[in-house]
Structure 1
Amino acid sequence: MISLVIADDHPLFRSALSGALRSEIQGISIVESYDLESTLQCLSKLNDIDLLLLDLNMPGSGELYGLIRIRKDFPDVPVAVISGSEDSAMVAKVMDAGALGFISKTSEPATYVHAIHAILAGDIWLSDELSEAVANQPKPDLSMQNKVAELTPQQYKVLCYLHEGLLNKQIAYQLSISEATVKAHITAIFRKLEINNRTQAVLVASDLKLQMTVI
Structure 2
Amino acid sequence: MKFIIADDHPLFRGALRQVLSGQTDSVEIVEAGDFDEVKKIVAEEDEIDLLLLDLAMPGGTGLSGLVTLKALQPALPIIIVSATDDAATVRNALELGASGFISKSAGMETINEAINAVLAGDVWTPDHIDLDHPQDPEIQALIDRLRTLTPQQTRVLTMLAEGLLNKQIAYELEVSEATVKAHVSAVLQKLGVDSRTQAVILLSKIGAETINAG
Same fold per superposition (TM over 0.5): yes
Give % identity: 34
CA offset at residue 95 of structure 1?
Answer: 0.6
CA offset at residue 144 of structure 1?
Answer: 6.0
- Give unmatched runs, 5+ long, in structure 1: 160-170, 172-184, 211-215
In structure 1, the partner of 2:156 is 151
Cα distance between partner residues in 1 of 2:199 and 2:66 = 21
The 3-state SS of whatever aligns with 1:117 is: helix
The 3-state SS of whatever aligns with 1:14 is: helix
Cα distance between partner residues in 2 of 1:75 and 1:198 = 23
In structure 2, the partner of 1:87 is 86
In structure 2, the partner of 1:70 is 69
CA offset at residue 17 of structure 1?
Answer: 2.2
Cα distance between partner residues in 2 of 1:154 and 1:76 = 20
CA offset at residue 59 of structure 1?
Answer: 2.9
In structure 2, the partner of 1:25 is 23
Larger radius of gyration: 1
Cα distance between partner residues in 1 of 2:64 and 2:200 = 15
Cα distance between partner residues in 1 of 2:61 and 2:199 = 15
Q: 1:196 to 1:70 in 2, by over 3 A?
A: same
CA offset at residue 49 of structure 1?
Answer: 1.3
Alignment of 1:136 with 2:141, yes or no, is no
CA offset at residue 199 of structure 1?
Answer: 7.8
Q: 1:137 to 1:152 in 2, by over 3 A?
A: closer
Cα distance between partner residues in 1 of 2:128 and 2:83 = 15
In structure 2, the partner of 1:4 is 3
Cα distance between partner residues in 2 of 1:206 and 1:155 = 11
Q: 1:35 to 1:111 in 2, by over 3 A?
A: same
Which one-letter code corresponds to 1:97 in the other structure? L
In structure 1, the partner of 2:102 is 103
Alignment of 1:58 with 2:63, yes or no, is no
- Give unmatched runs, 5+ long, in structure 2: 166-179, 209-214
The aligned length equals 181
Cα distance between partner residues in 2 of 1:69 and 1:199 = 17
Cα distance between partner residues in 1 of 2:133 and 2:81 = 21
Cα distance between partner residues in 1 of 2:197 and 2:118 = 41
Q: Deviations over 1:39-71 (max 9, x none)?
A: 122123333211111111223331211111211
Cα distance between partner residues in 2 of 1:153 and 1:202 = 8
In structure 1, the partner of 2:170 is none
CA offset at residue 208 of structure 1?
Answer: 3.5
Cα distance between partner residues in 2 of 1:77 and 1:201 = 25
RMSD between superposed Cα atoms in Å? 3.2
